[in-house]
Amino acid sequence: MKNFNLTKAVVVFSLLTLLFTFGIRQVIFATTPNVTLFMATWVGFNSNDSPQFLPAITVTDVDGGNITSANGMSIMLPKDMDLLWDKSITEVTVDGTSTVTVTYDKTLKSLTVPVSKAFGVNESMTITGQKVRIYDRAYIYKDLQLDITGDGVGDITGVNGLRIDNANPATDFLPPYQVSALTTKIENGKIILSWENPPDPDYNGLIITSTLTRAGVVSAPKEIPLGRLDTQYTDNESLVGDSVQYSFRTKDNVSNLGEALATTVVVADTTPAASSEQPPTGSEGNNTTQQPTLTSQSVLDTVTQSEVDAALAKYSDLKPDTENLKGLVYLIKLGALAPRGTKMRPAKELKYADFAGIAGKAMNVELQQGSYLKTFKTLRYFSKTVKAGKKMTKKTAFKVLLTIKGMKVKDQTFVEYTKLRGFVTPTEIAVWLVQLADLK
């Protein structure tokens, strides 16, 4: 009897083991997309080579349905390898005939190729024309990866890889990229410049050349050297009425200078005009500030009919009678709205992270390393307890936009704050951002 019970136990245990193992395998096979990423040949570069084209890359969706227009697909360079995509390449060739416009992430490690429809079984796409920039470190061979879910994480590891060999390095003639997200503001008559440094591994600082014009007299250019970690400069020599031209040039470890990026700032008198009336008796003075007023020309006047027509042709859910159509197209022009695939979803209820991305780009909020939401937390526009995936109410979104603009709810005049109900959408964001942009 004991032997019989032992035999039964062994049989039951074996069956459970098989079921468990089979179940795990089913989960693995069900959740791992059957997609391949194949580069035509292995590639070896010498460190400091000039920008080089990669061989043809073929992506195949074996099962079909894994690659979709909603997510597109992004080819990712190894994160621990000193290679960056060359962003001067704005279009690549697909299947040897057509061209598509590609985009890059902030780190220049990810190149996104748009997809017009979901891939069918064994459907493939061969991509040529992509180029990389090579920096001075050596590695064993590393493989490319493919992101097909749009989350910035590699889902597929490629076949055939690349390496950098510094045994015989080329002479480094490659300057860093320009700084980006350059913004200017004036506080107490002083000019404050802010920017983001480029992602080049050998970036080693920048030189700002300042040329002052005061009362019609142009001063000799002044060079201001800054370090690789600097992202802000305050010009304490500027006065009201001055015009100052700034030229930014990045440099690398061997002092290659990047292309100049210039901006001109005029220091206007922002002090409200003095009143000729005497303050009421017992008053300490008139502390009221100037209220913002609308400019005579709206930013919507910069949106052309051809741009509207292009948006209507690209996004299937946009129609000629779409509410605030021009406002949405204006945000597309700014790069603040960058939907994937063929749907704009103007009525989609936005999460905090969505809103932060739109507002950050549209209002030139200085960006720091990390997500838009972390940046906004740093700037104290959001509570530190806010979750990026939580939906954002209209009231909160509207108040944040006013805060960035330097206004208070009581100062605004273009929407009744007490009537804002529900969650915010891209359409409403577009309305408010256009109206705020029209204020002076």
Q: pLDDT of 202-256, one tens digit each?
A: 999 999 999 999 988 999 999 999 999 999 999 988 888 889 999 999 999 999 9
| pLDDT for residue 273 | 36
User: Does the structure show a pLDDT above 70 at 359?
Assistant: yes
- Give pLDDT tens digits for 44-72: 998 889 999 999 999 999 999 999 998 88
Among 317, 316, 200, smallest CA distance to 252 is for: 200
- Cα separation, 388 vs 355, in Å, equals 10
Triad 282, 283, 289: Cα angle to 5°: 170
The pair phi, psi for residue 332, each rounded to 5°, is: -60, -45
- Cα separation, 70 vs 371, in Å, equals 21
3 state SS of 427: helix
User: Does the structure show a pLDDT above 70 at 154?
Assistant: yes
